[in-house]
Structure 1
Amino acid sequence: MRSRMITIGAATNDGTDMIMIIDDHPLFCEALQMTLRETLSVTRIHTASSLRQALDDLRGSPAPDAILLDLNLPDVAGLDGLTRLRNAVPGVPVVVVSSMADDRIVAAVLQAGAAGFVPKHSPREGFVSAIRQVMAGGTYLPENYAPPKAEGASGGDNTVVDKLATLTPQQGRILALVCEGYLNKQIAFELSISETTVKAHVTAILRKLGAQSRTQAVHIASSASFASILRDTGMS
């Protein structure tokens, strides 16, 4: 499914002109669009059904005011997708929307840099409040959320998230392309930089992730998923 730009309503009084929704469930997307139109009068909604499509659409385009992201997408699942998205558009608040709302998952998502978390089963007021709160510079948390104890928050995934967080935005973009199978020459062309610069960044990425090879770096990035979190919570 291709992403699509939808112009709806007039300019919002909340100052929110464009929101991106990344989710592969058409009915949910339509319901969320209707909510944003009727309650916030968002002028534009851009949707993408995969992370790859969203990243492609963001390259060279004006950044949205906020992003709503489902982490369980056809081409990625977990914290790696959130990290790659934040590196692609630093400064843009990302609100995670998920049917899995365990406190440990919420904690891991917030640690990875999300500006908020909204369970998919939330009433429409929850989504509206989340957008308003993050656009005002705040953080939105689901009702009844209780931060888990530090020693059991998400086990080894915290280490991976911490490592990914040390990457610069450019290094994050390069790692994302490495994960997609791009060679150095292709990355240089894609980002309009020299191949020598790409090699230097890849070396820095490997060092920061504690990886010995590109393959290991991809594995480390991919391991930032919900798998171990779900095992810790007994949900899998």
Structure 2
Amino acid sequence: MQVLVVDDHPIMRVGVRQLIEAAWADVQVEEAETIEEAVHCFNARPPNVVLLDLSLPDATGVEGAARMLRVAKGVPILVLSMNPESGYAARLLQMGVAGYLPKDRASQDLITAIRRVLEGGRYVTASMADRLLALLDGKAPGALPHEALSTQEYRVMQLIAAGQGASDIAEAMHLSVKTVGSYRARILAKTGWKNNTELTKYCVQHGLTDSE
């Protein structure tokens, strides 16, 4: 079995490697610190599963996952992140990742999560599974404002919270400045935020900014 671990923290990569090698005798673990390195490793030797950090030097948040999904077609991606599940898991599962595991649960649940996604299933923690089911039923208690956003709106929200202006966001997302403005207007309308300051404050409070 071949596993690709994408994380810019050496200690985390070592810990993940040790857990995997203890669980499988015939496993080969490749490591990458950036999405660019990950793409190179993937193309050179396609893995059976990708373990992906959300905060990397050349990509953060959903952008890194989106870039990896374009390359790793048919190969499950399991996200390992310090960011809270409530902020990212539902969005990433909608995009196509196979699972989401908080890093503070990795030592207990990593092998179970890998086995689940290798079998073609999806993996989230039990508490997040309950929340996702409630969201599907429209019964989620206290549904968060950002959960109503589309994937593109969500990305614009994150970039605004990161302090990027409309021109920078347009360039990063390959959109026109006018389209970015339209997304911003829809974000404010859906969430009830009055301005970028309220948007940024919310993102910081809910761990939706780059925190790793």
Distance (whole Å) between structure 2 residues aligned to residue 127 and residue 156 of structure 1:
29
| Secondary structure, aligned partner of 1:91 | coil
- Residue 93 of structure 2 corresponds to residue 122 of structure 1: no
Q: What is the TM-score when the length of structure 2 is the normalising length? A: 0.66
Partner of 1:112: 95
Compared CA separation, residues 36 and 230, structure 1 to 2 (3 A) = farther
1:66 maps to which residue? 49
2:118 to 135, 139, 150: 135
- Equivalent position amino acid for 1:234 in 2: Q
Verify the 8 A CA contact 2:85 2:100 in the aligned structure 1.
no
Give aligned-pair identity as a percent. 23
User: How has the CA–CA distance of structure 1 residues 159 and 66 changed in structure 2, closer, same or farther, with 3 Å as cutoff?
Assistant: same
Cα gap change, 1:52/1:40 in structure 2, threshold over 3 Å: closer, same or farther? same
Look up the equivalent residue of 1:82 and give its one-letter code.
A
TM-score by length of 1: 0.60
Cα RMSD of the aligned pairs, angstroms, is 3.0
Per-residue CA distance 1:104-163 (angstroms, 9 max, x = gap): 31111111211001110015231000110000000011131122547735343534579x
Structure 2 gaps, min length 5: 156-170, 184-198, 208-212
Residue in structure 1 matched with residue 151 of structure 2 by the alignment: 158
Query: Larger % of helix: which?
Result: 2
* 1:37 correspondence with 2:21: yes
The 5 A counterparts of 1:1-236 are 17-59=1-43, 61-145=44-128, 146-147=131-132, 148=135, 149=140, 152-160=145-153, 211-212=175-176, 231=202, 234-235=205-206
Structure 1 stretches of 5 or more lacking a match?
Answer: 1-16, 163-177, 180-204, 221-227
- Structure 2: which amino acid aligns with 1:137? G
Whether the 8 Å contact between 1:19 and 1:42 is mirrored in structure 2 is: no
Distance 1:106 1:27, change over 3 A: same
Q: Does the CA contact (< 8 Å) of 1:20 and 1:47 recur in 2?
A: yes
How far, CA to CA, are the matches of 2:74 and 2:14 in structure 1? Answer: 26
How many residue pairs get aligned? The number is 164
